[in-house]
Amino acid sequence: MLRLADTVAITMHIRPDGDSIGTALALREALIRMGKTVYVFSEDIDIVFQNNFATMNGFSKICHASSIQLGASSIFFTHNTPYTEVELPGFDLLVVVDAGEVNRLGDSAKLIEASKRVIVFDHHLNPSMQCDLLVNNPNRASCGEMLYEFFAAHNIEITKSMGEAIYTAVSSDTGCFLFPNTTWYTHHVASELMKLDIDVASINYKNFRAYDPQSLQGFMRVLNEIQFLYGGKVTVTYLSHALIQKYQFDHEERHRFQKYATDAKGVKVSIFVQEKEKGEFNISLRSVGNINVAEIAAKFGGGGHRNASGMSAKGNYKAIIADLLAAVEEVI
């Protein structure tokens, strides 16, 4: 299907991370090298447009999913660089990376209707999205690993810039190779990519070490307010919308709080809550060992991996946390 398609759309899950962005951009470059017309779409453009991802080839070409409009026989959307309004009769193919459920696509779900065929390229458990071809391997730590495997199997050359995007994908979903989903194959992929002379030190620094010194005061405030519950086995970290605005925490800085909360000795499950706006929350769950937070997230309409999952919620914060803690208490 990839070889037969002339126009291809690529999209990813809402609140995209390094794995989804890196996989999408590496695939974009490969398809362009095959002579395809390719557009990449993202729902949360404010998250995507960050300095730590800005150097990846094709990054500035990502289109706003919110700009997608469907006509009677056309699709309209905004292309960023250069800024233009695009009208097409539709796409020959849509490739969804790192997402297996339609409700994880946001406005990008409109692309399904505008595409003749759909491929889902995902490493999560039990993807449910209807498609023409499902490529799924939950044993791979990232979609980046799956894409590397696909390229190798089909003798598709990986350029240096594609290698940097795939390395970003692989390292992001494994927490720079510290998460329990890291396998020998993860290290194999990383070592093969390093043979392309990619700038590993720079990627790791930007994605896992660098922070804005102006945010230190906010860091200290949030860390001091982490709750340790159930004898230190569970942590709850809450980041209000007001606090996010006050200290201008970017996406990666926010999730760094959860790393501290999860890595504290004795912690089995960490709950990280970000308030989008009043009464609306994004919630990340992390676990250590065999506790399956994907099952917990699924009870609330979310999903993900055994040790890293997420969900969205609306309502009263205290009530939401009480329900979550009740579910966590059953498994710790």
State pLDDT tens for residues 76-87.
888 776 778 888
Between CA 222 and CA 240 the distance in angstroms is 10
Q: Is the pLDDT of residue 225 over 70?
A: yes
> Is residue 302 within 8 Å of 310, Cβ to Cβ?
yes
> If you classify domain 7-208 with CATH, what class do you get?
alpha beta
3-state helix, strand, coil in the chain (%, to 5): 40, 25, 35
Closest CA to 146 of 195, 100, 206: 100
pLDDT score, position 327: 96
pLDDT score, position 203: 94
Tokens of 326: 């009740």
pLDDT score, position 159: 98
pLDDT score, position 129: 95
Phi/psi for 330 (5° steps) reads -70, -20
Residue ranges, comma separated, of all CATH 3.10.310.30 domains in the chain are 215-329
Q: What is the mean pLDDT of residues 231-235?
A: 97
Reported for 176-179, long-range contacts at CB under 8 A and 24+ positions apart, including other chains, are 176/204, 176/207, 176/208, 179/141, 179/307, 179/308
pLDDT score, position 48: 61
Q: Work out the mean pLDDT of the chain and round it to a whole number.
A: 92
Q: Is 254 exposed, middle or buried (0-12, 13-18, 19+ CB in 10 A)?
A: buried
pLDDT score, position 219: 87
Q: Is 197 exposed, middle or buried (0-12, 13-18, 19+ CB in 10 A)?
A: exposed
> Is residue 273 within 8 Å of 237, Cβ to Cβ?
yes
Binned at pLDDT 50, 70 and 90, residue 46 comes out as low
Is domain 215-329 in CATH 3.40.47.10, yes or no?
A: no
Between CA 276 and CA 7 the distance in angstroms is 35
DSSP conformation class of 62: P
pLDDT digits (tens, 9 = 90+) for 184-209: 999 999 999 999 999 999 999 988 88
pLDDT score, position 193: 98
pLDDT score, position 322: 97
DSSP conformation class of 68: -
pLDDT score, position 83: 76
Closest CA to 75 of 40, 110, 103: 110
Q: What is the mean pLDDT of residues 39-63?
A: 82
Residue ranges, comma separated, of all CATH 3.90.1640.10 domains in the chain are 7-208
For residue 269, is it left (φ>0), alpha (ψ between -120 and 50) or beta? beta
- The kind and range of the H/E element at 180 are none
Looking up tokens 């398609």 gives 5
More confident residue, 258 or 202: 202
pLDDT score, position 125: 84
Q: What is the mean pLDDT of residues 123-135?
A: 93
pLDDT digits (tens, 9 = 90+) for 140-182: 999 999 999 999 999 999 999 999 999 999 999 999 999 889 9
Beta bridge partners of residue 304, listed in sequence order: 309
Residue 293, helix vs strand vs coil: helix
Beta bridge partners of residue 176, listed in sequence order: none
pLDDT score, position 259: 87
More confident residue, 209 or 108: 108
pLDDT score, position 47: 63
Beta strands in 231-307 (DSSP E): 234-239, 269-277, 280-287, 303-304
Q: Is the pLDDT of residue 50 over 70?
A: no
Q: What is the mean pLDDT of residues 95-113?
A: 94
pLDDT score, position 42: 93
pLDDT score, position 49: 61
Q: Which span out of 55-64, 161-170, 258-267 was modeled with the highest average pLDDT?
A: 161-170
Between CA 229 and CA 42 the distance in angstroms is 36
Helices (H), 225-269: 241-247, 251-263
Residue 185, helix vs strand vs coil: helix
CA angle 288, 320, 300 (to 5 degrees): 65
CA angle 273, 275, 276 (to 5 degrees): 130
Q: Is the pLDDT of residue 294 over 80?
A: yes
pLDDT score, position 51: 63
